[in-house]
Amino acid sequence: MLKTLIYLFLAWLLYKLVFDFIIPIYRSTKVVRRQMSDMQEAMRQQYEQQQAAQQGYSSQQKQPPVSRPESKPDKGDYIDFEEIK
């Protein structure tokens, strides 16, 4: 009788382990993998769209953009520092 109770208890523990732990982890892993592949596909499509837009933009330009001369910082804002001992 005691042996049967122990076997039933072990079977119940195994049932709980499988249906409350292993199966939910499997399902969540499957969902995360699917979401990850969807995100990678969306990023790939966005990258391709950006590349196409950049190529279209560069083909529309006929002359290089005018470069601006570098602006030099105003020397009036600089305060000379001397260490006093």
What pLDDT digit, counting tens, does each position of 39-85 carry?
Answer: 999 999 999 999 988 887 766 665 555 566 666 656 667 677 777 87
> What is the b/e burial string over 60-81, where b = at least 16 CB atoms within 10 angstroms of the residue's CB?
eeeeeeeeeeeeeeeeeeeeee
What amino acid is encoded at 84 in this protein? I
Query: What pLDDT does residue 57 have?
Result: 74
Residue 20 pLDDT more than 60? yes
* Residue keyed to tokens 């039933």: 8
What pLDDT digit, counting tens, does each position of 38-48 carry?
Answer: 999 999 999 99
Alpha helices in 18-79 (DSSP H): 23-60
Distance CA 85, CA 65 (A): 53
Query: What pLDDT does residue 60 have?
Result: 63
pTM flag (> 0.85): no
Query: What pLDDT does residue 56 have?
Result: 79
